[in-house]
Amino acid sequence: MQVSNQINEEDAQIFTNNLKKFILENGASIVGIADLTILIDYKHEPVVPRGFSRAISIGIGLSDEIINKIKKGPTNVYAEHYRKTNESLDEITKLIVSELEDKGFKTLRIPASQRINWQKLYGEFPHKTAAILSGLGWIGKSAMLITFEHGPRVRLATVLTNAPLSVDEAQETSNCGSCKICVDTCPPKAITGELWFFGDPRHKMYDAHACNKHLKIQEQRVGETICGICIAVCPFGKKE
């Protein structure tokens, strides 16, 4: 059965609730719906692909036991956990795409780990942008997404669509305050320490190229371009 783009607010909310339930039942830890039309007033980079008004942001929480063992850099166990979590996210987004396209909607799946612009170090569309527009969290001083439920201990994936989904309220400010733990512990000193506000460019928070250079060194050790130190030390993710 197809669902029309022209449905009333109540039916849109029911459709959205059912989709979110489906996503959570298939392994996601968190899910939110973003209104991409908000970005029209911002010089967002990369630009939103044409024909999409909504983004479905999903996340899977990372293992506290694995993250807590990251002290001076990524472990092999973390690298494997990172790979497996990305694979799980990609399987969930395939299910979302199938569910929506069966109903006649347009979709674009953004894999969990994707980069198409190596000069600017961008993917086709940023998972973090979809997540903050979905109200799942804010951008920390580390330039990582800090979720309300898992802190930065989460991996993300995104599906863009034109389906008439009810949107969640965007998060527009940071909750990091005066905390500087990630700034002080960043090995390549890539984090500026500036607070994020909605619409701020990425370079205000951190030097992506300095970070990437450090990640390439870690890739030689563990087989993935990861670090994890800022994730491990963030007080929003820690559980006593």
Amino acid sitting at position 158: T
Q: Which two tokens stand for residue 123?
A: 């993917």
Helices and strands of the chain, counted as H and E runs: 7, 6
The structure tokens listed for 89 are 């996210």
Residue reference for tokens 């506000």: 197
Mean pLDDT, 10 residues at a time, the chain of 240 residues: 69 96 98 92 70 96 96 95 96 97 96 64 80 96 95 97 97 95 96 92 88 92 93 88
What phi, psi does 47 have (nearest 5°)?
-70, 155
pLDDT at 232: 96
Specify the pLDDT at position 112. Answer: 92
- The owner of tokens 């965007």 is 170
Helix boundaries (H) for 102-190: 127-133, 181-185
Q: What is the pTM of this model?
A: 0.92
CA pseudo-torsion sign 101, 103, 106, 112: negative
Contact 159, 93 (CB under 8 A): yes
Q: How far apart are the first and last CA of the chain?
A: 48
Compute the CA torsion angle 91, 97, 98, 100 (nearest 10 deg). 150
Task: Give the pLDDT of residue 4.
Answer: 58
Residue 121: per-residue pLDDT: 47
Cis previous bond, 152, omega within 30: no
Residue 39 has a pLDDT of 87
